[in-house]
Amino acid sequence: MVKSSSKTPDTTAPSMAVDIGGIRMRNPVMVASGTFGYGPEYADLVDLNALGALVVKGIRIAPWDGNPTPRMVEVPGGLVNAIGLQGPGVDGFIADYLPFLRGYEVPVIVNIWGRSLDEYREVAQRLDGVPGIAGIELNISCPNVKEGGLAFGTQPDMARSVIAAVRRATRLPLIPKLSPNVSDIRVFAAIAEAEGADAISLINSYPAMVIDVRTRRPVLANRVGGLSGPAIHPIAVKLVWEAARAVKIPVVGMGGITGPQEALEFLIAGARAVAVGTANFTDPTTALRVRDGIRDYLAEQGMHDIGELIGSLAT
């Protein structure tokens, strides 16, 4: 006891902090874009500061109406949504939501999209230097808008140009969100890394369709939508595992997390952080349960730092 003022370190609590391309998070559990609004919606139910990071709903350069309704349908083990990226636009976001979010310490990651290369670039530029934004998640994988969206995420050349353009437009940490709808995810992971992305995230929801056999019509007004939830989890684990081995930049894993178990799979497969999406609807406290469960797992396994777990898959 040399220095009486020193705190006794809690040797049993493993360190959960991670760094995702320059974004420092207290723990690796984020909430996924489009499933947590812009923050205020869940603020009564969840301590936002307890999240690793908060990724807001996708925004573009101007307000966007999204798709007609119905926009969501439940299926066994998940849901199919075709919201179509309704949002207030980047200025609306900055004016209406960012002040609220600045009241919290949680890193805020803005999910952005555009209908053209220019739009992508503009929205990134507009966010650059705005206080209260920790990073940009670049959505090149939304199955629910006709323009841009998925096309950017499934064609290597288009992915390359949009990532390069946005990279030049911002100094913020940049996280392209890859589409699962490709034959070889490693190609797109490598493109992101080569173009200067700070991290990658995956997977977005998976293109899908539900038909009402009574009316013989698609249930969703947009006809097709994106499948998310437990149903896609084993697909996501495989893609995260492949992507994590293909690049050195951090990987954020998501798809079907409902509790610590699925999050641990992603981390073991090589993800440095994870995001909870659909499960927020089922149980808004999922991210907190996941965080606590990971901590307990580390303690049980005698691990002192989350880093020991990440990518620890024995094959």
Partner 1 sequence: MKVETCNISRHETFQGPYRRLILDASGIGCAGVPGQFVHLRIPRLDGAVLRRPFSLYRAGKDGIEVLYKPVGRGTDAMLSMVQGDSLSLIGPLGNGFPVCGKKRTPVLVAGGYGVAPLSFLALTSARPGIIFIGGARADDVLCVDDFKSRGWDVRVTTEDGSLGAKGRVTVAIDAWLQSPESRGDREWYACGPDGLLKAVGERAAANGWNAWLSLDKHMGCGVGACLACVQRVRNADGTEGWVRVCRDGPVFEARSIVW
Site residues for ligand FMN per CB under 6 A: 32-35, 57-58, 81, 83, 85, 111, 139, 142, 177, 204-205, 228-229, 232, 254-257, 276-279
**Which of partner 1, a copy of itself, ligand FMN, none lies near 164, with the C-beta cut-off 5 to 8 A by kind?**
none
By DSSP bridging, strand 108-112 and strand 72-75 are: unpaired
224 touching a copy of itself, by CB under 8 A: yes
- Min dist CB 288 to a copy of itself, Å, is 19
Q: Which residue has the tokens 């950017």?
A: 152
∠ CA 107-112-186, rounded to 5°: 90
48 touching partner 1, by CB under 8 A: no
State the CB neighbour count (10 A cutoff) for residue 300: 9
Rounded distance, CA 306 to CA 296, Å? 11
What are the structure tokens assigned to 96, written together? 């209406």
Binding a copy of itself (rule: CB under 8 A), the pick from 64, 123, 241, 252 is 241
Rounded distance, CA 96 to CA 119, Å? 21
184 touching a copy of itself, by CB under 8 A: yes
From the candidates 142, 166, 203, 252, which is the catalytic residue? 142
CA-nearest of 46, 201, 56 to 130 is: 56
Binding a copy of itself (rule: CB under 8 A), the pick from 155, 161, 288, 307 is 155
Q: 3-state class of 104 per DSSP?
A: coil
Select 37 or 156, whichever has its Cβ closest to partner 1. 37
Per-residue burial over 283-299, b = 16 or more CB atoms within 10 Å of its CB, e = otherwise: ebbbbbbbbebbbebbe
Rounded distance, CA 278 to CA 57, Å? 13
65 touching partner 1, by CB under 8 A: yes
Q: Mask of contacts with a copy of itself, 4-33, x by CB under 8 A?
A: ------------------------------
Select 28 or 229, whichever has its Cβ closest to ligand FMN. 229
Answer yes or no: 142 catalytic.
yes
Select 98 or 219, whichever has its Cβ closest to a copy of itself. 219
**Which of a copy of itself, partner 1, ligand FMN, none lies near 255, with the C-beta cut-off 5 to 8 A by kind?**
ligand FMN
Select 43 or 235, whichever has its Cβ closest to ligand FMN. 235
Rounded distance, CA 258 to CA 278, Å? 8
Rounded distance, CA 179 to CA 141, Å? 4
303 touching a copy of itself, by CB under 8 A: no
Residues serving a catalytic function are 142
